[in-house]
Structure formats: C-alpha cells, structure tokens
Structure 1
Amino acid sequence: MSNPTIPFLCLIEDDEIMGESLLDRFELEGYRVDWHRTAQSALAAVGDKDYAAVVSDIRLPDGSGEEIFIRLLERGLSLPPFLFITGHGSIDRAVALLKLGAADYITKPFDLDQLVEKVGALCGNRVSPCEEDNCRLGISPAMRKIAQTLPRLALHAPTLLITGESGVGKEVIAREIHRLDPSTTIRPFVAVNCAAISESLLEAELFGHEKGAFTGATRARKGVFEQADGGTLFLDEIGDTPLSMQVKLLRAVQERKIVRVGGNTEIAVNLRLICATHRDLRKMVEEGAFREDLYYRIHVIQIKVPPLRERREDILWFAQRFLEEQAAKGERKQLSRSGEEALLGHAWPGNIRELRHAIERASILTPGPLLEPEALFEEGEQPAPVDNKELGSYLQGCEERYIRDALARNDGHLGRTAESLGISRKNLWEKMKKLEISSIG
C-alpha cells in the first residue's frame, strides 16, 4: 500500500528529456510521480487516481493539457490543482485556463527550483529541514542550508548544476558531494575548466582520442569522461562550451557513453556529473547561445551559491580558516580589530578566492603578528577606515541594499526572497520593517 503522507504527483509531459528531468527532480524532493506521455493516458488516470497536484505541458502529441483540464471539468469531478507548463507563445491559453480554475502556470525555459516551490505550495508540502549542522562551507544561513542538502544529493543525484559568481566555491561544493558519497570516496574526482580549453582541443579533452586521430596524436589517450569513470566529473564553466560541442556533450550526458576522437567504438562510463557556471544559462537558452535540451538535462538539480557579499557572516569565518592554514606553514598571524572591520567593509568581487589571496599575501609580507588593513589590501583596494558606530551604519546600509536587490530579483515575492537570502519569511519581514523597506509588486 502507498504511503498517504507522500504527495502523489501526476506529470503529463511527452518530451523524454524534459520528462526524465522533472521525474528525477520531483522524486529527489520526496514525491511519488506518475508520468504520462499522452493526453489519453493522463485523462483516464486523473479521473481515477488521488493526485495531490497535476503538472502538465500544454502541447501533447494527441491533444493538449488544456483539453484534459476542460474535459475533466465537464465531468463535474473534484480536481487536484493543475499547473501548466507553457511556451511564451501559449501564455494567453494558460491565462485562460487560470480563469477556468487552473492553479498556476510556468513558462519555458523555467527554473526548476521555482517549479518545485510552486508545486510544494499547491501540495501544502515543505521539505523538512535537515538536522545536520556540521557545515564545512560556511556559517551563514544560506551556506548551512546548502550543506544540509548535500548528503541526500550525494546519494541520489547523478547529475547536478552549481551556479554562482567566480570564486564562490563551486568546486569546493562539488568535492564535498563527492566526499559524502561512500561509493565514490576512493574513486576519482576529475575537474576540468571548459573555458580554459580551446574549441579545437575541447572534444579530445572531454572524450579522449585514438592514436593517429590528428597530428601529434602519437598514442591513444583517455578523456576526462573515461578518467572519471566510477567517480565524479566536474565540468566547470559549462556555459562557455561552443554550440557545436554541446550537441556531443548532450549525448554523453544523456547516454553515459562516449566515442573517442578518431574512433568508432562506444565506451560506457559510470560517473556522477557535476556542471558549474557563472553564467545565466536560462538567458543563454533564450538567446540561442545554449541548447535547451542540454540545459534541462544538466539542470535536474541546481545549487545556487550566493556571493560572499550576501553572506557576510562567512567573511571572518573563512578568514580564520585561511589564517590557520598559514599558521601550519609557519606564518602565524591574527587580524587586528581594524583589520576585521576592513574585511567586513570590502565588497569582495572575487569572493572567497579573493579573500584567501588577501590573507595569504598579508601573512607572508607582514613581519609582525597583527594584520592591519593596509596589509590586507593593495593600494586602491582598501575600504575607508570606520569607527564602531560608522561600521554599524555601513553594514546596515549594506543589508538594506542587499534586501532591496533580492526583492527586485524575485519580483517582490517574500517567500522566494527569504529563501534566496537564507533566512525565514518572518525574519525577512522583521528586517524590512526595521529598515523601512516596503514590498515590491
């Protein structure tokens, strides 16, 4: 007998890549999913089974999601909430369905996290917070929340996408996922930066080559897909791969099979694939710069890493870790009070990587035990000195700007804004009241 406490979803989607991506994601979120590829199959099931919600594409090979909904309404049935997936050209149809009683719609290309949030709201379902509090990624709420999801992802997610600015620690998270999976801890972790390899060499780097495949190929060589077999492959800056390579990459991601350059034999690989980028892949899809099918194939699970300026609790925490690393090398230093204030007052455009370099440089070049602001920043970088009162005002101003920016990015939606900031909705509301910020939209 099925567990009635687990929400039961009806997924109506004929596209195999999209359907598999949605199925994988919803199952990872803890849902039971009934996937239908045709209107006829879905029509019979919705009238017969007790679904918590229905997620349906508008266009189907033998009809449409719209027809399913209308025909069910005509039967006078009590229907579960319907959420429709639509392209920009069909938004008017989706709006018309809302007027008939549909719950919501989302347009392609969409953010899977946003879709999961919408479905969770329709089902009244929320993922229980993880009790694990041993965060290796930072002490801010945002990074603790990411850390809490990693053990489950390490066990169940074969493909992930990590996004965030350069230097935020995307590879660190990928390595942590690899470490947490007991099946891969003694297997290889292979990392490659797609943006650092020329287009002419990228295919051979990814898939390997046979002897004589091109000038200089004096022997066969395994590519990173084969090197990572049994472990984890980390493809950094996936957004920088050319369109011509994305076609071949899609096949490797989808089938877990590759063919070496100059070869004809398919080689199966069994690995976890973690992709990362600082680019906005959804925008690139809309502009035709990134394949939509590859986007949905690698975007089953997305981990969004906020920049260091949006999680200031982590600045001194990381600084102390880097100081301990330097102490192990014989350079034992500590931050002066003004040095700490200078770190907190800096914008950190290079994120954690920039912070590490600042600590390392200052530790090596400073003869005394204390690191002052002038040692931490090169000329022109150092923030203006502040006293305690000014620092508090400065940090409050930073907090206000970050909250306003987050509200703007999330169209004034308090729930999504709170989630992006790593705080509760109540905490966000209290901060907005204190800072006299009114909701947007």
Structure 2
Amino acid sequence: MSESLICLVEDDPIMGESIVERFRLEGFGIDWHIGAAAAYEAIQRKNYAVVISDVRLPDFSGDELYTRLTSTMTKAPPFMLVTAYASIDKAVSMLKAGVADYVTKPFDIAELVHKIQALSACKIPEEAMPAHGPLGVSATMRSLADVVPRIAKRASSILVNGESGSGKEVLARHIHDVAASGQEEPFVAVNCGAVPDTLMEAEFFGHERGAFTGADRQKKGFFELAHGGTLFLDEIGELPLAMQVKLLRVLQEKRVRRVGGERDLECNFRLVCATHRDLQQLVSEGRFREDLFYRLNVVTLRVPPLRERNDDVLWIARRFLSGYGATNHEPVKALHPATEAALVAFNWPGNVRELRNRLERACLMSTGSVLLPADVFSDHAAYGGEESPDAPSLSAYMDRCENLYINNALVQHHGRITETAAALGISRKSLWERMRRHRLAGQEAANE
C-alpha cells in the first residue's frame, strides 16, 4: 500500500517504541512526539492521515490537543485517543466532540492497527478530489457527476431540472468547470425571472452609446459576455415569448447585434438552462416555444431534492461550516450528534438553500463551538416539539457513526465490497451484514 503518515503522541518510551515499530512493519510512516505542544506544531505543518494521542501527557492533555486543533484547522486529521482512565461519560464526551475513535489501555496492538488502517483508508485527501469538486456523496449525485464529463464539452445546450434551491446552479458551474478543463473561460449566470421585460433586449444583447435615453456608454450584453464560455439561464421558463424567439436565433446563427449597433458580433457559448417548472406543460399551454424546447431538451439532467438524497445532508453541512469558518476567519463549528440526527430527519422543503441559510443563521447567533438542534431549528420545526431532543445514547451515536463511516468507505472504493472490507479491516461477510443493517448499497450489491 502507499505509505500513510501517522502522528503518534505518547510520553511512555516503551509503549511509544513498540507502537512505532509495529506501524513501520505494517508499512506506515510515523512521527513520534512525546509532548502535545510539539505534536500541535507538527500536525499543522504536515498532512497526517491519522493522529494517535495518549490522553495524559506532560504538558497538556490529548483531548485538549484535539480541541486546539479543531479550533485552528479547517480540517483536522482523524483523531484516535488512548487512555487508561476510561469511563462511559468520558467516551461519550470525546466522541461527541468529534474524536474518530477511542481505545483503553491495555489494548491489543493488532486491533489498534486495524482501526488506524480503516481511518487512514477512509480519509479522502482534498488534493485527491477533482479540481471542480464533487456534487455530493449520495448515489444519485455521484451518478450525475459521472455523466458530466461525457457531455460537458460536446453538448451545445444542457437543460437542468430541479426544485428551487436544490443546487441547479452548482451543477451548471460544475459543467462549466469540467468543460473549461482549468482554462479561464467566462461563466455568466442570469436569472430570467429577475430581468424586467423593458430591459430584456438591452441586457441580453447589450447596447451602443446613445442607443436610447440613458445609454451614456457602450455595454456588452449577456450573450457577448459569455462568448467562449458558458451562459447559464436560470428559470428559463420565465423568459417571455418574444425573447425566446431571439434566443433561438442566437443559438442558430451564433451572432448578436447590440441595440443601436450596425454590425453583427460573433457569439459562441455553451448554454446551460435550468427550471423548476415543467417546460412540456408550458409548451402545451402556449407559454413556451416548442422549437426552443426541442433545441434545449437534447440533454436533460435532473437534480433531485435534498429529501431524496439524505446522504448528502451532513456532507453539505460540514462543507458549508468549513467554508464559513475559513471565510470569516473563525473556528469551524461542529455539529452535535442530536443536531446531525435532526438535519438528516428534516424534510428540507427549501432544499440546499434552506440548509445553508439555517446553518449561516446558527453560526451567527450561536456562541458555542458546537451547534445544538435549537441553534439550527430555532422554530423547532425539525422535531415538532417545544424542547430540544435529548442527546442520543452512546449506542445510537456509535450506530450512526458506523453508518456514515461505512458509507464514506463505499464512496471512496466506488461501492466495491471486497476492496471496502479490506480497507475497513473486516471480513466481506461482516461488511455485508453491516450494510444490510444500515440499508447501504454497494456496486456489487446493485449488480447482484
């Protein structure tokens, strides 16, 4: 296997030497630190796959080391704590704080190796992700991401269907990024329902100076600005019939003329349109041109609502919290296990937009480092009660963690059961049983 780098924080020289020797035999690279302060500095400089830390250390504790790291790093590596002073209460508090796992002394070193192998295998480095980023971890969004490279450069127009707030513009930008292949190309996004009818032609085609009252300068329109890149027309169903005719002509001739202009300008772009409405129904009602519909409907992609892809909820939430913290130069807030459960259980009528808005409000209003259900659902809509729900039991929390952990491993190994079981350090049969219990599907399961 390719060498993963482990950070060990252990002040006992005998135990430290034995762990270092065993992990090197297993093919891991390992840095050994005796104190928490030295480890803290090293973890921020190096890309460790996993951190193994004793709780009792000479300068400050292992759990305090974890707390400091999560308050200063956008994404801390998975953290394994080792202690001889275990209790159920301590285990619950550590797990709720976000520690990946926990072992008590004396421990079986082979078991520790298996746990670290699983943690390092399921850690997906950010640099291994495509530059354009994934669309989600759910099966439907991964399938959608698989389709994009096949059509992004070849399709002249793509129609995206989906409810409001489901992420249609995210998909459009993903298509643009894949098609651009790292080149600088314009991306022009237009909400068709937000452009007044009286300004429609001037906004889309642009205008020359003096073309009409108030035109005190030359202005390029949306079509011209998108030349050589992508034009994203959101809510295409709101485009007036007169403008639909003009759009069709631009698509056919690939030329535009500014309002008040005397010559045509070359205008070639890939077109991505989005709508939450049934365009076929609009055609039958005479509110959308049939010829334009068929011109746009060559390739149609559907973005499912968030309630149909629960696996994406926590993935989106964590990405948003990480980005929010980085943008505002603040420590990244964590999600309480009860909050995670409430997020997954909620129906999300406003889709991804509502999820982001609720989390942003929670980040602004909450003074704690961990977001509770009441912070995100101040109206108690998620759980229908007047009081916040009790924190889940340790067994319920661990069951939820196992579900997410196995699902992430399946995502990384493209649903292949044998590879996933090997990465997790369990038998194929054991993985099958856990997948059946958690209602998870892998590629082999789908084939069978």
In structure 1, C-alpha distance between the alignment counterparts of 2:261 and 2:333, rounded to whole Å: 55
Task: Show CA shifts across 1:372-421 (max 9, x none).
Answer: 111002325332348689999xxxxxxxxxxxxxxxxxxxxxxxxxxxxx
Q: Residues 365 and 265 (structure 1 numbering): CA distance in 2 closer, same or farther, change over 3 Å? A: same
- Give the aligned partner of residue 173 of structure 1: 171
Instruction: Summarize the alignment of residues 145-156 of structure 1 with structure 2, pairs less than 5 Å apart.
Output: 145-156=143-154
Of all paired residues, the percent bearing the same amino acid is 50
In structure 1, C-alpha distance between the alignment counterparts of 2:442 and 2:238, rounded to whole Å: 35
Indicate if the aligned counterparts of 2:190 and 2:233 stay in contact, CA closer than 8 A: yes
Instruction: Summarize the alignment of residues 116-195 of structure 1 with structure 2, pairs less than 5 Å apart.
Output: 136-182=134-180, 185-195=183-193
- Give the aligned partner of residue 272 of structure 1: 270
- Give the aligned partner of residue 324 of structure 2: 326
TM-score using structure 2 length: 0.56
Q: Residues 427 and 239 (structure 1 numbering): CA distance in 2 closer, same or farther, change over 3 Å? A: farther
Indicate if the aligned counterparts of 1:256 and 1:270 stay in contact, CA closer than 8 A: yes
In structure 2, C-alpha distance between the alignment counterparts of 1:183 and 1:368, rounded to whole Å: 41
SS at match of 2:227: coil
- Give the aligned partner of residue 217 of structure 1: 215
Indicate if the aligned counterparts of 1:184 and 1:231 stay in contact, CA closer than 8 A: no
In structure 2, C-alpha distance between the alignment counterparts of 1:133 and 1:155, rounded to whole Å: 20
- The aligned amino acid for 1:193 is N
Task: Show CA shifts across 1:181-217 (max 9, x none).
Answer: 2467312111111111111111111111122222101
Q: Which moved more, 1:285-294 or 1:330-339?
A: 330-339
> Are 2:354 and 1:354 equivalent residues in the alignment?
yes
| 1:218 Cα offset (Å) | 1.4
Q: Residues 209 and 154 (structure 1 numbering): CA distance in 2 closer, same or farther, change over 3 Å? A: same
Instruction: Summarize the alignment of residues 15-414 of structure 1 with structure 2, pairs less than 5 Å apart.
Output: 136-182=134-180, 185-328=183-326, 329-379=329-379, 381-384=381-384, 385=389
Indicate if the aligned counterparts of 1:210 and 1:219 stay in contact, CA closer than 8 A: yes
| 1:262 Cα offset (Å) | 2.6
Task: Show CA shifts across 1:230-280 (max 9, x none).
Answer: 111111111101111111111112221222223342222121111111111
- Give the aligned partner of residue 38 of structure 2: none
- Give the aligned partner of residue 92 of structure 2: none
In structure 2, C-alpha distance between the alignment counterparts of 1:337 and 1:153, rounded to whole Å: 40
- The aligned amino acid for 2:376 is L
Indicate if the aligned counterparts of 1:178 and 1:185 stay in contact, CA closer than 8 A: no
| 1:141 Cα offset (Å) | 0.8
Q: Residues 382 and 151 (structure 1 numbering): CA distance in 2 closer, same or farther, change over 3 Å? A: same
- The aligned amino acid for 2:350 is G
Q: Gapped runs of 5+ residues in structure 1?
A: 1-131, 393-422, 431-441
| 1:138 Cα offset (Å) | 0.4
Indicate if the aligned counterparts of 1:374 and 1:382 stay in contact, CA closer than 8 A: no
- The aligned amino acid for 1:358 is R
Indicate if the aligned counterparts of 1:184 and 1:230 stay in contact, CA closer than 8 A: no
TM-score using structure 1 length: 0.57
| 1:360 Cα offset (Å) | 1.6
In structure 2, C-alpha distance between the alignment counterparts of 1:224 and 1:167, rounded to whole Å: 23
SS at match of 1:317: helix
In structure 2, C-alpha distance between the alignment counterparts of 1:310 and 1:337, rounded to whole Å: 21
Task: Show CA shifts across 1:50-76 (max 9, x none).
Answer: xxxxxxxxxxxxxxxxxxxxxxxxxxx
Q: Which moved more, 1:258-267 or 1:213-222?
A: 258-267
Indicate if the aligned counterparts of 2:374 and 2:380 stay in contact, CA closer than 8 A: no
Indicate if the aligned counterparts of 1:254 and 1:297 stay in contact, CA closer than 8 A: no
Task: Show CA shifts across 1:7-37 (max 9, x none).
Answer: xxxxxxxxxxxxxxxxxxxxxxxxxxxxxxx
Q: Gapped runs of 5+ residues in structure 2?
A: 1-127, 400-440
SS at match of 2:273: strand
In structure 1, C-alpha distance between the alignment counterparts of 2:238 and 2:182, rounded to whole Å: 28
In structure 2, C-alpha distance between the alignment counterparts of 1:344 and 1:182, rounded to whole Å: 35
In structure 2, C-alpha distance between the alignment counterparts of 1:322 and 1:292, rounded to whole Å: 40
In structure 2, C-alpha distance between the alignment counterparts of 1:213 and 1:279, rounded to whole Å: 35
In structure 2, C-alpha distance between the alignment counterparts of 1:237 and 1:311, rounded to whole Å: 23
Indicate if the aligned counterparts of 1:165 and 1:278 stay in contact, CA closer than 8 A: yes
Indicate if the aligned counterparts of 1:133 and 1:148 stay in contact, CA closer than 8 A: no
Instruction: Summarize the alignment of residues 415-430 of structure 1 with structure 2, pairs less than 5 Å apart.
Output: none
Q: Residues 369 and 184 (structure 1 numbering): CA distance in 2 closer, same or farther, change over 3 Å? A: closer
SS at match of 2:152: helix
In structure 1, C-alpha distance between the alignment counterparts of 2:277 and 2:202, rounded to whole Å: 24
